[in-house]
Structures are given as C-alpha cells and as structure tokens.
Structure 1
Amino acid sequence: MLGQDVITALAQELAEARRTRTVVPRITARYPGATVEDSYAIQGVWRDRMVAAGRRQIGRKIGLTSRAMQEATGIDEPDYGVMFDDTVYGSGAAIEIDRFSNVRVEVELAFVLRTPLEGPGRTVEDVLDATDHVVPALEVLDSHVEMEGRTIVDTISDNAAYGAIVLGTTRRRPDEVDLAWVPGVLSRNGEVEETGVAAGVLGHPARGVAWLAGRLHRHGERIEAGETVLAGSFTRPVWVARGDEVRADYGTMGDVRCRFV
C-alpha cells in the first residue's frame, strides 16, 4: 500500500490536472503495487480539499456497473466517485467543453434518496424504499489519467472519471415505473450512437445503489437522505467534441439534451 505522503502528493497532482485540463501518467505505471484502497484514499484526500475550498458534495456516481462499460474499459468491477453542486446541469444546457478532458457521455438513471441507506447486504427493495424519485440523466466523463492501459486504481483515483451530470425534467417514484426496463437511445448530432435498457446495470439499476451502500460502509460512510446517486451507465460511452449536440431518449421518462460549446 502507498504511504500517506505519496497519497497526498497524487491527490494534489490530480487536482492540478483537473485545474489545468491536463493528463497525468498512469498511477499504476509509477506505483505498480497501488491497491483499490489506495485509490479511494487518493480520491478522499482530493474530495476533502474540494470541500475545504467551498464546494458542496451533492451525491455519488457509480461506474462500471454494466458489461458494456466493463468491456469498453477493460475493468471488471464497479467503482464510485463524488459529485459536487457546481457540476450539475439541466437538460438543454450549453456545456463548455474546455472544462473537461477526454470528454464522453453516458446514459444513466439518477436516484434521489428520501432516507439514508447504509451497510452491506442491501437489496433492490431496500434501495427503492429509500428512494424519493428517479430521474433520467447524462453523465459527462472527464479523465485526467492517461487512457491507454488504465486500471481501476487509476480510474478511482481520478474521481471515477466523473465530470458533470445533466438532469432531465421527468421525475418518477420507484413504484410508478419498471426501472429495469427504462430504455436509453443516445444520439449525437441526430445520429443514433448507442442503445440499451437499464437492466444492463447489474440486472437492475438499483443494484448499483445497493453496491454503493456496501462499499461506503467499508469506509465508514453512508448515502445520505437528499443525495443524488448516478446508478451506472447502460450504454457504452460516446466521445463528443465542441459543437456536438447530444440527446438521450428514455421513452416514457422523457429525454435529456445538451450541447458542447
């Protein structure tokens, strides 16, 4: 495992990379013995610094929960990162692409919790009982560790590649819709790029939230009431560039749109 001085230095390096929109060499290339717990420690130091600087944490994102995403990245287990209030956009937003690095978008569902959720062994039913509503969302990926050869350690250290969330306007209670069968059709500039259904996330998108509750428990944390949780993508990521217009169609749950300027 990495020493605290190395963890702190890597957190600072990644904070600077995010500030300057640059990319750093793979952590696992420099520290082959780095573990998943090391990577969450790096992320935690970075998060605490962001909070100390005045940013407000509003939730978590879960990544790598579907076979499509695991095959796309070569990583075979989920991960999580944190979301801050200054990374939230509404549908129709114009997003400055220069805020990010290696920009891609994914189709997801966001769970907003009514009550806290904590501990291992949580079930889909536990998650649904704790959820106030679910809303369609796009995740904007933002990677600051070199892409080729990345492992889950590199991704987690980089806040699980989270950049921003674009929220739709259609809210549904968990008992109003069969969440496993919510569709997602992702188009870029009018051309369909990816399709999927939410069951692609571990069989049911709530399972991603249950996984997160168990993982946070190992770090002495829980998902708090009012937090928003991005449950994981059920399509592969789509690369975007300046000028691109993106739309995700969720059927009866409406759509989410944005453009990159």
Structure 2
Amino acid sequence: MTADWTIEKVADILLDAESNRTDRGRITDEWPGLDLKAGYDAQKVLIERKKADGHTVVGVKLGLTSRAKQKRMGIDSPLTAVITDKMVLEAGVPIVLDQLIHPRVEPEIVFVLGERLEGPGVTAATAMRAVASVHAGLEVIDSRYRDFSFAMPDVVADNASSARFVVGAKSVSPDGLDLALEACVLRINGAVVDTATGAAVQGHPAEALALAANALAARGEAIEAGSIVLTGGITDAVFISDGDEVSVEFTSLGQIVVPVRRSA
C-alpha cells in the first residue's frame, strides 16, 4: 500500500535512520510515487527539520558529477543537496565511525563564493566570476540506504548521502588556476588508493557549479554569497576503517589529513 506515504514521512524516516545510525531499503521500492520532484521536496523538508534542530545552512553540494555515474543512474546532470555547519569537520578532528553508518570518503574541489550566483543561464565562465577562493576538500558520505543502493529520488531525498566535510585551510585565488588539470591523490595509511584531476567533475568543476546554479533556479533558489560549494567527488568514494589516516593532496590546493576513530 502507498496511501500512507507523504513527503514528510520520507524526511522523518531518513532523519530517524541518520540519528539511530541504521540503514534501510530503498523508499522507491515501497512508494513508487517518490519521483525526482518528490525527492527534492522531501530533501527540503529534511533540511527544515535540521534547521529547527539547530543546523545553519552554509552551502550546497553536488552529487553524481561523474559522467560515468550519471550514465549508471540514467541522468544527464548532477543532483544538488544542502550542507550545514553541523557537518563541518575542523582540521585535526577525526571522523568518528560510531556517529555514522557505513561512511566513505572522497576528495573534492571546493569553492567559496564571493557573490550571489543565480540562474538560469549561468555558464562555467560566469560561475567562476562569482568564486572568491578555491580549496581542497574531503567529503564523508554516509547513505541511509543499505549497501549504498538507491534510485535517484531516494538519494535526493537523503540529501545526497551528506554526512561530514573538511575544507582545506589553504585559500587559493581562482585566477590562473586550471582546475580541469588540478591533480589529486587520495591515500589511506600512506598507500595511494586513487588519483584523478578536476576534469572528472563534469569536465571542469565550474561546469558543475553552473549546473547547480541553474538547477536551483528552477526550484526558485540561488547560491548565496559566502556559500561553500562542494563540487563533487573527484575519485570514487572509498570505505574507511577504525585507525585509518586519510590523506588528500592536490597540486595547487594543498593537503588535508584526517584520522579515523571508532569513538570520539
């Protein structure tokens, strides 16, 4: 039966899974009415619930920015989600596994906007003009779905598996940077597990930023000045374990090192 399902119920179920650190099956298997629009509506309710619980919105994140991942999901554009201050990991603070379900990490190129960016019609060039600084980033994703198995509306409702993120201390001007060629090495315990360049993100992270601005405009929203924008995973996401040390090193943007601990 699907009659009992509502947007509010979807948000509450996902928040409960996050709070209790339990995973579940796809909601779309139980409620075929959860389409992409309903997924974004549920995401909006979920964020409003978080704000009521003391979260402050600090920016946006993009998911599925890899063309290969988009093809697997049957889409042609990234998804957008919301990041809050409670998701921020400060330098040196560990990723605590007992606070999460089955976390993975992925390096990202991060923008901080100097001016408001509003679609429609935003291009990569106009998007970059709104960027004040560029940073190394590391995102911790943690799907509330079992085995990270979901359809597109499921993951949108789940705020794109958002959990934690780190922004590197080094602030770099976007002028003169070739972010398509910006290389990144992801290491776990000193061993290289993946490498990539910024071209993995829609061909250039600015393309992802432009797509985000235009997608948000279609829902009556914009990216505000001062916002942090996580432009999407450069490499595949990697599972982490207790005692690991995660290291991300970029050509120009610097390095982030984060320990992983079972408990705080």
* Residues 254 and 222 (structure 1), Cα distance of their counterparts in 2 relative to 1, 3 Å cut: same
Deviation at 1:67, TM superposition (A): 3.0
State the identity %.
37
Deviation at 1:127, TM superposition (A): 1.1
3-state SS of paired residue (1:199): helix
Match of 2:64 in 1: 64
- For residues 1-261 of structure 1, the aligned pairs below 5 Å read 6-67=6-67, 69-70=69-70, 74=73, 76=75, 77-147=77-147, 149-261=149-261
Gaps of 5+ in 2: none
Q: Distance in 2 between matches of 1:149 and 1:95?
A: 23
Gaps of 5+ in 1: none
Report the count of equivalent residues.
259
Deviation at 1:197, TM superposition (A): 0.1
Partners of 1:64 and 1:75 within 8 A in 2: no
3-state SS of paired residue (1:220): coil
Question: RMSD of aligned C-alpha atoms?
Answer: 1.8
Q: Distance in 1 between matches of 2:249 and 2:138?
A: 11
Deviation at 1:111, TM superposition (A): 0.6
Q: Distance in 2 between matches of 1:214 and 1:138?
A: 25
- TM-score normalized by the length of structure 2: 0.93
More helix by share: 1
Partners of 2:108 and 2:137 within 8 A in 1: yes
1:27-69 superposed Cα distances (whole Å, 9 cap, x missing partner): 1111124211110111110101111222101011101111354
Deviation at 1:90, TM superposition (A): 3.0
* Residues 227 and 246 (structure 1), Cα distance of their counterparts in 2 relative to 1, 3 Å cut: same
Partners of 1:90 and 1:168 within 8 A in 2: no
Partners of 1:68 and 1:235 within 8 A in 2: no
Partners of 1:75 and 1:151 within 8 A in 2: no
Which is worse superposed, 169-178 or 74-83?
A: 74-83
Which is worse superposed, 168-177 or 205-214?
A: 168-177
Which is worse superposed, 81-90 or 190-199?
A: 81-90
